[in-house]
């Protein structure tokens, strides 16, 4: 009897271990440049297709932060893929390098959109992804990135921008947007001018984009990122309340988005 119980306990432990969220590195290319993404999923949903969520990194590149967000998404039942804009092993050493590297893409929409769409292709190719139910989220540099992905005409259901740049450098591209848009923005963000927000709103309205925008009081840039510190005077700082509320807003957006696809 004890042997049977012991075997049952081992079996339960084995199942529990295998029920944990799984990860896999994915290598892909843009010409000769090697890119490396990370796919994260929950094996408990492996027997059926699940919505896929693309995760676009902030200006320091793909880090443990994006991996944590992917894990959270997998725990919600999605297959998440953290793409790589910069290239395998190409990570800024500091904020100065990050500003320089990210500006390369901000000033070259064609290059930026190509890298974004290459990441989307990898998400769509992952086992267990329902290719009819796809969204993208991004932070800071990636917050602008998901808007650029939408402007490229990518066939995604929705995008969520967390404290991203909100300029409208090519307003005519608004007509390409097929996705619904959710923007989560710090009300005190000093890096996003009101003129940019007004231009973005005009672009979206002129193109009849289905968009919504939430302002979080007391929040500045990078409000979802603990590594930003807690000093609002720096212009970028973590805000636990805004982080929590924006994640809930994203979940509600996804519930509406994917339910409408059924």
How many CA atoms does the CB half-sphere of 184 hold within 13 Å? 29
pTM of the model: 0.91
The angle, 0 to 180 degrees and rounded to 10, between the axes of the packed helices 109-125 and 95-106 is 90
For residues 249 and 222, give the distance between their C-alpha atoms in angstroms, rounded to a whole number: 17
Q: What is the DSSP string of 145-184?
A: HHHHHHHTT---SEEEEES-----S-GGGGGG--SEEEEE
**Domains and their CATH numbers in the chain:** 22-259 (3.40.50.1820)
Q: Per-residue confidence of the chain (262 residues) as pLDDT tens digits?
A: 444 334 434 343 333 344 699 999 999 999 999 999 999 999 987 668 999 999 999 999 999 999 999 999 999 999 999 999 999 999 999 999 999 999 999 999 999 999 999 999 999 999 999 999 999 999 999 999 999 999 999 999 999 999 999 999 999 999 999 999 999 999 999 999 999 999 999 999 999 999 999 999 999 999 999 999 999 999 999 999 999 999 999 999 999 999 865 5
């Amino acid at each position: 009897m004890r042997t049977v119980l012991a075997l049952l306990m081992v079996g339960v432990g084995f199942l529990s271990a295998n029920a944990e969220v799984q990860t896999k590195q994915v290598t892909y290319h843009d010409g000769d440049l090697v890119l490396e993404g990370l796919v994260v999923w929950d094996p408990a949903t492996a027997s059926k297709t699940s919505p896929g969520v693309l995760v676009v990194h902030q200006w320091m590149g793909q880090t443990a932060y994006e991996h944590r967000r992917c894990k959270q998404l997998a725990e919600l039942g999605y297959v998440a893929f953290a793409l790589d804009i910069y290239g395998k092993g190409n990570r800024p050493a500091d904020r100065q390098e990050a500003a320089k590297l990210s500006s390369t893409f901000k000033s070259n929409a064609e290059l930026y959109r190509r890298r974004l769409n290459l990441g989307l292709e990898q998400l769509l190719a992952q086992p267990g992804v329902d290719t009819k139910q796809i969204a993208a989220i991004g932070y800071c540099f990636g917050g602008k990135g998901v808007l650029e992905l939408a402007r490229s005409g990518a066939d995604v259901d929705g995008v969520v921008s967390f404290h991203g740049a909100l300029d409208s450098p090519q307003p005519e591209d608004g007509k390409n947007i097929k996705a619904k848009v959710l923007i989560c923005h710090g009300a005190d963000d000093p890096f996003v001018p009101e003129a940019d927000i007004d231009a973005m709103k005009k672009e979206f309205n002129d193109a009849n984009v289905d968009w919504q925008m939430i302002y979080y009081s007391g929040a500045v840039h990078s409000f979802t990122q603990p590594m930003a510190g807690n000093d609002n005077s720096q212009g970028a700082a973590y805000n636990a309340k805004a982080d929590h509320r924006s994640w809930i807003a994203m979940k509600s957006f996804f519930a509406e988005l994917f339910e409408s696809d059924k």
